[in-house]
Amino acid sequence: MKLVILLVLIAVFASLAAGLYFLSKDNQGSPRMLNALKVRVGLSVLLITLLVVSYFAGWLGQPPPA
């Protein structure tokens, strides 16, 4: 599960970088920056959901005391 969370986090940063690139290089009125923002928001919601579910399922958190 930690690997999935890490991959989603990397995808969020990649979408952020793509949005920045589209902001600086595209012509005005191009929908690519808006699409990158939509993807980033969706991935962020997915990431938060995965973190909450993983924590309450016991997949993340502190290990049990020895």
Pseudo-torsion of CA 30, 35, 38, 44, nearest 10°?
-120
Residue 16's pLDDT is 94
Distance CA 22, CA 3 (A): 28
Residue 66's pLDDT is 67
Tokens representing 47 are 């990431």
Please identify every stretch of the chain with a pLDDT value under 70, giving residue numbers as ranges: 63-64, 66
Residue ranges per structural domain of the chain: 2-57
Distance CA 52, CA 58 (A): 10
Residue 59's pLDDT is 85
